[in-house]
Structure 1
């Protein structure tokens, strides 16, 4: 079994996932509402046709997925969770942290802790919370 995060955006999914692909690497696949069969997209307003119905960023055997499917009148942002990145080196952790923090808000700067050689927390420009962790080498 694998557990994958699935984020919901309100019209920013494509921009966010292009940014994540630039920062993290991987293979990005995007499907718009306009690409779905009529019996699926008939439910959505015309202005949704170019929004992202499903995004998938594949990083090795891991997936980060998302959609713009949250209706604007009920969308409240992404709350109560973080995407955790575990990296092999402090240098890679610092690189990812700096990239994701660009135009975002740092909650805890990247630093050594009692459990990690490097750890930091931030909310990116799209409202997604991230934790970057580099475990200590014993």
Structure 2
């Protein structure tokens, strides 16, 4: 993951340091480096027919940021496949058309949606995590609530020793539990 992060930083520096007249060359180089980065992150996919996956539709072009945030946050997580919008597509070139990733071996998918819908993420549908210990619970709660919203602070609510509910910075809802 450090190699991928380094590649991304170098890419950003190349793009930010280019003259305006070299902007097209830098943009083409960025697209090529992004494709290389995608291939470095991609893993084999063993999905069975009928398998259920959580699909996150981002209307603010945040699919990649959210996916990378979650993969870095959760153990046993990886990016499986990334397909990007091409030039002249319905959203900005290079944004996520469709991506598949796993979080602690649970299958997720995401995309940057071309149409803006009247709906968004709702806390009525959330991701529930039964944490292995209290330190994991506190770590996840802290990271997921950063720049987000705490809907139920960590506490004993009678049904659990310690439980918390947050809506993260991307609008995705998470219930965190430790018994």
- TM-score bucket of the superposed structures, by smaller chain: 0.7 to 0.9
* More helix as a share of residues: 2
* More strand as a share of residues: 1
Residue in 2 that maps onto 1:31 = 83
- Check 1:116–1:78 CA distance in 2 against 1; reply closer, same or farther (3 A cut): same
Residue in 1 that maps onto 2:57 = 8
CA–CA separation in structure 1 for the residues paired with 2:141 and 2:51: 25
Superposed displacement of residue 2, structure 1: 4.3
List aligned pairs for 1:105-120, cutoff 5 A: 105-120=149-164
CA–CA separation in structure 2 for the residues paired with 1:60 and 1:3: 15
Deviates more, 1:122-131 or 1:110-119: 110-119
- Check 1:118–1:56 CA distance in 2 against 1; reply closer, same or farther (3 A cut): farther
List aligned pairs for 1:74-93, cutoff 5 A: 74=117, 76-79=119-122, 80-93=124-137
Deviates more, 1:122-131 or 1:58-67: 58-67
Superposed displacement of residue 97, structure 1: 0.7
CA–CA separation in structure 2 for the residues paired with 1:116 and 1:57: 30
The aligned length equals 126
Q: TM-score, normalising length from structure 1?
A: 0.78
- Of 17, 28, 48, 2:67 maps to 17
Instruction: Compare relative contact order (CA 8 Å, sep 6+) and give the higher one, 1 or 2.
Output: 1
Larger Rg: 2
Q: TM-score, normalising length from structure 2?
A: 0.62
